[in-house]
Amino acid sequence: MSTLANSSNIFWHECPVGKTERHKLLNQKGCVVWITGLSGSGKSTLACSLSRELHSRGKLSYVLDGDNLRHGLNKGLGFSAEDRTENIRRVGEVAKLFADAGLICIASLISPYRKDRDACRAMLADANFIEVFMNMSLSLCESRDARGLYKLARAGKIKGFTGIDDPYEPPLNCEIEIQEKDGVCPTPSAMAGQVVSYLEDKGFLQDQ
């Protein structure tokens, strides 16, 4: 996915303290919770609620928010297909490092293209990549659009906006799907609870 050439003079250096030791120290297992969905689907709301719930349980997590990352790590990247791919690649690499450190990394990005998300999944052992699909209708997302981005996109003032004039490719085999009920997005605590239950069932919240 990267356009940068690889040097033949780079070698991997192993350290004596590894992932197993870090898991024991933190009493949890590192993983990536990748939250994907349309703008306004509740990704950031879920990410923050999930992080708060994990913190209350004494579990260490870190949120990688798509908008926040464009202020630093991904500053300078636009919204072309190529820039979106590089944006996701960078976040995937950082998320991989957080997971290796033993943290529960919560990545919250639209990440509209299936191939880009799958490439991030391929960076980790499959069981350690937990894809969460915020399956909210476009109409619901537009009604929740506090920043008025959909309105601007429909007026042609924002080009390449996901869901309007750029496609969103939903996951085919996500681990968790969060759906609207009667046209309403579930509460933050309910969404976080659904993800925490999955993490508990799969043994990520303890080192055993």
| Residues catalogued as catalytic | 111
* DSSP H/E element including 190: helix 188-201
What distance in Å separates the CA atoms of residue 151 and residue 127, rounded to the nearest whole number? 39
Q: Calculate the alpha carbon distances from 195 to 19, 51, 122, 134 in Å.
A: 23, 11, 21, 12
User: Which residue bears the tokens 């990005």?
Assistant: 109
Could you tell me how many residues make up the chain?
208
- Residue 60 DSSP class: -
* DSSP H/E element including 108: strand 104-108
